[in-house]
Structure 1
Amino acid sequence: MTEFLGPDFLLDTPAAQRMYHDVVADLPIVDYHNHLPPAEIAQDHHWDNLGQLWLAHDHYKWRVMRWAGIPEDLCTGPATDRQKFDAFARAMPALVMNPVHHWSHLELWRFFGLDGTVLSPDTADRVWDVANAALPGPDFGARGLLRQMKVRFVGTTDDPLDDLAHHRAMQGDPDLVVAPSFRPDAAFKVEDEGFAPWIARLAELTGIRIDGFAPLLQALIQRLDVFVDHGCRAADHGIERLEAGPEWSEDQLTAALNRRLAGEAPTPDEAAAIRSALFVGLGRAYAERGIVMQLHLAPLRNNRQRLLDRVGRDAGADGMNDFAIAQPLNALLDRLDRTDQLPDMVLYSVNPAHNAVLATTAGNFQDGSRPGKVQVGTAWWFNDQLDGMERQMTDLAQMGLISTFLGMLTDSRSFLSFTRHEYFRRLLCRMLGRQVQDGLLPNDRAALDRLVHDICWGNAARRFLPADRI
């Protein structure tokens, strides 16, 4: 019987044990998409207690706490940090087989040395005391936590209007690259009430009079260039509705945009045409600048109005959508590829039913210019657990090439979440070890070592880190 989260957790073959312990366990981390606050990294933020560090921004934990019957006051409400922590400890025994159960214990054990301690009401006092005693130390500020996990690259998620002051302060750090990622979602939300005010702020920031489609694209690209000057290596698009809208002329786009900015509600065709034109225009700009374009597809957000009113966005009431993506996704990528201006891309979907669609779409647009130009991104959000990651990697391997895979990322707001890279690495080694054991892969140590090294570190490092930092 394998020990819970013990040294050989998930490593059920000799090949898996060797690959993990000898090759990937101590590799650095490139976390090329997350939601860590840049200010907290720049200022080496320290937390007063484990409740603040662990629960303040983690909608994964809030969601399962509610499911376990914990009232909102003890999740996001006015209760004290200790009361919220105790509530989470009460919920923990109910979380078995949910990934939060594994993640939480990996975080306690790897960061705080609480190996073997299973969180429950009986152990809550000890966990609280041990963690809180460690938090004032230099290894438990924001930068110390990253250092503990050997994180070399952090790709934050940033609005084009952000001033990037904290990124600027961190440029030149010899140990850690913190790069902004360009997230222009607000420019695509043509129907939203906040669209016109956001465009007005963009115009003020750039000094460009946005009175048509071309000036809008010009202003966005001006901000993109500021991001590039601050080390940006990726853009990120959160896509809640995917359309390949009509391909309109610039005059048609300008007329539709100006009507919207004047307060008229756009028609579905107008909104889709503007979004599609922005997608293509920005995609070409990314290709020209060597920026990786990430597409996060199919979330259905803010489904519970009462929670949105009380807590706000990202509170744990988002789910997966089930709209069809194959036709519009292929059409949009083709519009960029027609003129050989398709950037490097990473495709994610929150819906596991899309795995095969993403893999076959990525295969459609490989052009031989580099390995894995169009990537299937790691299992995202609700798929970020053992079964989901295994399904995603199996589909990628069988319909594409897992050897070019960029591997794991956290997509998290938590500084403790980097143990998920360990979780992923162990699972990858288990999958490959079983293939070796079953005679489906040759037991070629050099080839296997190179494969796991590249997936866990090398591929992402070559894509996102400066050459002299690899």
Structure 2
Amino acid sequence: MKSFLDEDFILQTETAKHIFHDYAEKLPIIDYHCHISPQEIYEDRRFETLGDVWFGGKQEDGSYFGDHYKWRLMRSNGIPEEMVTGREDELQRFKGFAETLTKAIGNPMYHWCNLELKKYFGITKPLTVQNAEEIWNKCNDMLQNDPEMTVRGLIRQSNVAYVGTTDDPTDSLEWHEKIANDDSIEFMVRPSFRPDKAINITKEGFKEYIVKLAETVGKRSLDSAEEVIDALIQRVEFFAAHGCVASDHGLDYIPFKMMTMAECNNAFTKVMNGKEITLDEAEGYQTALLLSLGKAYHKHGIAMELHYSCLRNMNERMFRLEGPDTGFDMIANNSCGGNIAKLMSELDKTGELPKTIIFSLNPADNAQIGTILGCFQSSEVPGKIQHGPAWWFNDTKSGMEEQMKSLANLGLLGNFIGMLTDSRSFLSYTRHDYFRRIMCNLIGEWVENGEYPNDEKALESIVSGISYYNAKRYFGI
């Protein structure tokens, strides 16, 4: 029987152990999509407790920020909500999570949490109710006193070369500028452009956001869809000047409805005047923005990330109580692969299709995405169109394996740009180690089964490429 979390954790064959330890393990991390704070990086925040870095919770302004993966798990164990996102008794909260985690056999959270305790705190025993207080005290002592347990220290320990934050077009990028001018920060931190609030014309807060966008570009108002597009393109150029290499779109589904600009302007005016619009009008406006932004991304060498098939805030009572991003989302079943292909084809007609990374939250879309890729590859960069890594509810061991198997079946796994954290936690870089182990185990199995030759140079190229070099080349880092 293998020991839990030993050096060959997940690695089942000699080939898997070899290619992980010799080719993948020590390579730097390119975390090209995450939700961590550039301000906390610049200020080199020191966390007071493990609860701060692991759970988060209710903030001073009444909003919530933290790890909804953990919150969902605790709710599944019947932990009262005041112990899930509340912060009155942090030790009891931690003990409640420890009790929850012991039941999480087969859940990636069990692996992630214990990997984090091992890597950053040197704790090799699994977290349990019995040792929770001892672990809590040790971690808190290290977080408060160890010079390498600040935000920058944690990133350095993780061997991170690049961090791609997620930023709104109205952001001043003040903290990115300060980071870029600080020679003591050895790793690269760059903004990523996320214009969802300007695209989601039928969602709450759209009118207020357009006012804010207008202020950002120095205008009293934006009076048409054309002016919104012009404002967003100005902000793309601003982000590009700050080193942006990726954009992100988190949409319920990807629309495609061609309308004239006059029709888009009319739909926009209706919404700004408090009137309802039809689904066709909404999709026409959204399509116009996505096409214009896609062309701008291509011009500036910015990759376009498309995240879709999520139903958000499905528990209305809890959404009203706690707001978005607190753990009440689910997988959607959208048939929008054809729309994605039409959107990409429209951009391709004029040679303005940007590098594109497609993520569906529904694993049933894996094969469809794999076939979309083959329709739009080009010589601009190997793997110009990417199937994004297993995301959110899919970044489990089986979910990662299925995504890579699907990509291998229908495309070129050797050009895959690999993993990201998509996280709000500075400890979550162990997810890259987790992914690399799963990837090496999968490839090692194929080699030992005689499905791929034991060719050292080829294996090194594939494994090191997926771990680091493909993303480095793809994003021009």
Runs of 4+, deviation exceeding 3 Å: none
* TM-fit CA distance, 1:463: 2.4
Contact 1:302 1:308 in 2 (8 A): yes
Greater Cα offset, 126-135 or 390-399: 126-135
Query: 2:163 matched to 1:127?
Result: no
Deviation of the 1:188 alpha carbon: 1.1
Q: Which runs of 5+ in 1 are unaligned?
A: none
Question: What residue in structure 1 maps to residue 18 of structure 2?
Answer: 18
SS at 1:346 equivalent: strand
Q: Which moved more, 1:457-466 or 1:59-68?
A: 457-466
1:227 equivalent to 2:236? Answer: no
Equivalent pairs, count:
464
Distance 1:158 1:22, change over 3 A: same
Q: Aligned equivalents of 2:27 and 2:280: distance in 1?
A: 48
Kindly state the Cα deviation for residue 177 of structure 1 after the two structures are TM-superposed: 0.9
Asked if 1:86 corresponds to 2:95, the answer is yes
Alpha-carbon distance in 2 for matches of 1:240, 1:265: 19
Structure 1 counterpart of 2:412, from 382, 391, 401: 401
What is the CA-CA distance between 1:78 and the residue it aligns to? 4.3
Deviations 1:364-383 (A, max 9, x none): 11123321010001000111
Letter in 2 for 1:135: L
Indicate whether 1:180 and 2:197 are aligned.
no
Give, in angstroms, the shift of residue 465 of structure 1.
Answer: 4.9
Instruction: Give the drift of 1:326.
Output: 1.7
Secondary structure of the corresponding residue to residue 168 of structure 1: helix
Q: Deviations 1:313-360 (Å, cap 9, x if unpaired)?
A: 111111100011221111111111111110000000111001011111
Letter in 2 for 1:170: I
Aligned partners of 2:91 and 2:133 also within 8 Å: no
Counterpart pick for 2:229 among 209, 217, 220: 217
Once structures 1 and 2 are overlaid, which stretch shifts more, 20-29 or 200-209? Answer: 200-209
Which residue, out of 53, 58, 71, partners 2:67?
58
Task: Assess if the C-alpha contact under 8 Å between 1:190 and 1:266 holds in 2.
Answer: no
Q: What residue number does 1:67 align with?
A: 76
Structure 1 position 362 matched with structure 2 position 373: yes
Aligned residue type for 1:376: H
From 281, 285, 295, give the equivalent of 1:284.
295
Shift of 1:213: 2.1
| Aligned amino acid, residue 431 of structure 2 | R
> Could you tell me which amino acid in structure 2 is paired with residue 228 of structure 1?
A
Are residue 425 (structure 1) and residue 459 (structure 2) matched? no
TM-fit CA distance, 1:86: 1.4
* Correspondence 1:195 to 2:206: yes
Instruction: Indicate how the Cα distance of structure 1 residues 98 and 195 shifts in structure 2: closer, same or farther if over 3 A, else same.
Output: same
Q: Is the Cα contact below 8 Å between 2:373 and 2:385 reproduced in 1?
A: yes
Matched residues in 2 for 1:369 and 1:181: separation?
Answer: 21
What is the CA RMSD across the aligned residues, in angstroms? Answer: 1.1
- The one-letter code of the counterpart of 1:351 is N
The one-letter code sitting in structure 1 at the alignment partner of 2:262 is D
The aligned residue for residue 86 of structure 2 is: 77
- Among 132, 145, 150, the residue aligned to 2:154: 145
Tell me the alpha carbon deviations over residues 183-233 of structure 1, each in whole angstroms, 9 at most, x when there is no partner.
Answer: 000011111231111111111110244222221111001111111121111
Partner of 2:44: 44
Q: CA deviation at 1:362?
A: 1.1
Paired AA for residue 234 in structure 1 = A
- Which amino acid is 1:8 matched to? D
Which amino acid is the alignment partner of residue 364 of structure 1? Answer: C
**Other structure's SS at 2:264 match:** helix
CA distance in 2, matches of 1:78, 1:292: 39
Distance 1:294 1:241 in 2: 13
**Separation in 2 of the partners of 1:151 and 1:403?**
22
Counterpart code for 2:8: D
Residue of structure 2 in register with 1:113 after alignment = 122
Instruction: Using the aligned pairs only, state the percent identity.
Output: 43
Q: What residue in structure 2 maps to residue 435 of structure 1?
A: 446
Please, which moves more after superposition, 178-187 or 85-94? 85-94
1:104 aligns with 2:116: no
Q: Distance in 2 between matches of 1:290 and 1:124?
A: 48
TM, length-normalised to structure 2: 0.95
| 2:171 equivalent among 154, 162, 166 | 162
Residue by residue over 1:22-70, the C-alpha shift from the partner in whole angstroms, topping out at 9 and shown as x without a partner, is 1111111000000001111111111111111111111000001110111
Q: Once structures 1 and 2 are overlaid, which stretch shifts more, 212-221 or 272-281?
A: 212-221
The two structures have a TM-score, normalised by structure 1, of: 0.97
Counterpart contact for 2:71–2:85, Cα < 8 Å: yes
Deviation, structure 1 residue 77: 2.0
- Distance in 2, matches of 1:221 and 1:326, equals 26
